[in-house]
Amino acid sequence: MSSVTLDHVHKRFGTAKGVEDVHIHIESGEFFTFLGPSGCGKTTTLRMIAGFYYPSEGNIRFGSQDVTDLPPHKRNTGMVFQNYALFPHMTVFENIAFGLQVRKVSKTEAKERVERIMGLVRLEGYGERRIDQLSGGQQQRVALARALVIEPQILLLDEPLSNLDAKLREETRFEIKRLQLELGITTIYVTHDQAEAMSMSDRIMVMQGGVVQQIGTPHDIYHAPVNRFVASFIGETNLWTGTVVAVEGDEVQVRTSSGQLLCGLRKNASPLSRIAVGESVLMSIRPESIQESLVSEGENVVTGTVEMAEFTGACVNYVAQVGSEPLRSMSINLGRPIKQRGASIGMHIPKESIYFAE
Ligand SMILES: Nc1ncnc2c1ncn2[C@@H]1O[C@H](COP(=O)(O)OP(=O)(O)O)[C@@H](O)[C@H]1O
Ligand SMILES: [Mg+2]
């Protein structure tokens, strides 16, 4: 197990920028995820940690050891590639044992270790199968076993679930998390899927265009996104603009096109310095924090017209046009009648559920 530090790391490909100034410290035993859309620099950053790319600038440390210039085989990282990169003509056993052969581990020890790992990833009895005789999910587990059998200090996973269908993806998500907790191994996980990132990670680094946008726990990133990109990339949200008209203690009055909203300020989450009378602000309000109001007036009650009503059984989702802004809400079904398109609806926006972004 080892911590991983990227100290102001940059990577340029000729004139094209790969990633810019990534500065992170990943704790020993942490499950840390790089999250962002395709092309944002996740794989590039991961490959620098594995040693397949060298940084154009900056340093990489495992614990206190500077590994910036070490080749991959001297880093003791286990990597699962997006396409698995298994040897199709070799058996499951041979694929998993490969890294041990390269490291000159004796045959008896290799056999013992491969069998132990096959048990851990639930592949018992599959040793003699060829890779092309396996399902996608089984291939994924072979790739995982091959990375783990060398007992790496750090496990690196590049979109390991992207080739699986939705149901298997969910199951395998829990499998990977279970293994990581059981082994306590420092794990760096790459994905473009926010649900995957939210459900598995201790912390997430959100990237866009080669630039780190935010680093935080799933809770922080979801509830206190630092900008418009993060707010809309992580789940659904309502982004409303407004102008600050009063600041009183830890409460802020904001004028919006749909009326005045009272917002609570959180000491750590809000960019306090920018909240001042006359400033324009961007607010993020998650749909699940908004409730249909049975009264049409009151503090933080806005009224609008239903544009879309969706009944999923467990939930009732509305999109309402409120002033010039659409407002999405998502509530647990309490058995109330569902408002139809065109009906007038009151929505209550609790003041503690309004987060300032940007
Ligand atoms: N070997 C390479 N040569 C040139 N450009 C590259 C290379 N690898 C990645 N890039 C560029 O770096 C950026 C980040 O790519 P990548 O890290 O693969 O993104 P992601 O994994 O987030 O989809 C992209 O613009 C990509 O085109
Ligand atoms: Mg990638």
Backbone angles phi, psi at 115, to 5 degrees: -65, -35
- Cβ(258) – ligand 1 distance below 6 Å: no
The per-residue pLDDT for range 192-241, each reduced to its tens digit, is 999 999 999 999 999 999 999 999 999 999 988 888 899 889 988 999 99
State the angle between helix axes of 92-102 and 107-120 in degrees (0 to 180), rounded to the nearest 10. 130
Find the ligand nearest to 18 CA: 1
What local confidence, expressed as pLDDT, does residue 267 receive? 57
What local confidence, expressed as pLDDT, does residue 49 receive? 98
Whether the CB-CB separation of 243 and 279 falls below 8 Å is answered with yes
What local confidence, expressed as pLDDT, does residue 358 receive? 66
Q: Pick the residue with more confidence: 52 or 294?
A: 52
Quote the ligand 1 centre to 19 CA distance (angstroms): 8
Count CB atoms within 10 A of the CB of residue 164: 18
Q: How many residues does the chain have?
A: 358
What local confidence, expressed as pLDDT, does residue 246 receive? 94
- Cβ(208) – ligand 1 distance below 6 Å: no
Pocket test for ligand 1, best of 13, 45, 82 (most atoms within 8 A of CB): 13
What local confidence, expressed as pLDDT, does residue 355 receive? 87
- Cβ(273) – ligand 1 distance below 6 Å: no
What local confidence, expressed as pLDDT, does residue 232 receive? 87
- Cβ(40) – ligand 1 distance below 6 Å: yes
Once rounded to an integer, what is the mean pLDDT over residues 242-262? Answer: 92
155: Cβ contacts below 8 Å, ≥ 6 apart:
77, 78, 80, 147, 148, 180, 185, 186, 187, 188
Query: Which residue has the least CA distance to atom 3 on ligand 1?
Result: 13
Count CB atoms within 10 A of the CB of residue 75: 21
- Cβ(18) – ligand 1 distance below 6 Å: yes
- Cβ(169) – ligand 1 distance below 6 Å: no
Question: Any idea where the domains of the chain sit in the sequence?
Answer: 4-229, 236-357
- Report the CATH superfamily, name and number, of domain 4-229: P-loop containing nucleotide triphosphate hydrolases (3.40.50.300)
Residue type for 127, please?
Answer: G
Residue 142, SS3 per DSSP: helix
Backbone angles phi, psi at 273, to 5 degrees: -65, -25
Query: Which residue has the least CA distance to atom 11 on ligand 1?
Result: 18
Q: Which two tokens stand for residue 318?
A: 């509305």
354: Cβ contacts below 8 Å, ≥ 6 apart:
261, 263, 264, 283, 284, 285
Residue with the two structure tokens 């003791």: 76
The per-residue pLDDT for range 121-162, each reduced to its tens digit, is 889 999 999 999 999 999 999 999 999 999 999 999 999 998
For the chain, the average pLDDT equals 92
What local confidence, expressed as pLDDT, does residue 221 receive? 93
Instruction: Report how far residue 21's alpha carbon sits from residue 107's, in angstroms, rounded to the nearest whole number.
Output: 44
Quote the ligand 2 centre to 163 CA distance (angstroms): 13
- Cβ(13) – ligand 1 distance below 6 Å: yes
Closest ligand 1 atom, CA of 40? 22
Once rounded to an integer, what is the mean pLDDT over residues 39-65? Answer: 97
Examine domains 4-229 and 236-357 and report if their fold is the same. no
Name the DSSP letter for residue 133: G
What local confidence, expressed as pLDDT, does residue 342 receive? 97
The per-residue pLDDT for range 105-116, each reduced to its tens digit, is 999 999 999 999
CATH fold, domain 236-357, is: OB fold (Dihydrolipoamide Acetyltransferase, E2P) (2.40.50)
Once rounded to an integer, what is the mean pLDDT over residues 36-50? Answer: 97
State the angle between helix axes of 166-183 and 136-148 in degrees (0 to 180), rounded to the nearest 10. 20
Whether the CB-CB separation of 78 and 152 falls below 8 Å is answered with yes
% residues pLDDT > 90 (the chain): 75
Q: Which two tokens stand for residue 112?
A: 């013992």
Query: Which residue has the least CA distance to atom 21 on ligand 1?
Result: 43
- Cβ(34) – ligand 1 distance below 6 Å: no
What local confidence, expressed as pLDDT, does residue 9 receive? 98
Instruction: Report how far residue 118's alpha carbon sits from residue 100's, in angstroms, rounded to the nearest whole number.
Output: 14
Closest ligand 1 atom, CA of 44? 17
Answer yes or no: is pLDDT of 61 > 60.
yes
Residue 197, SS3 per DSSP: helix
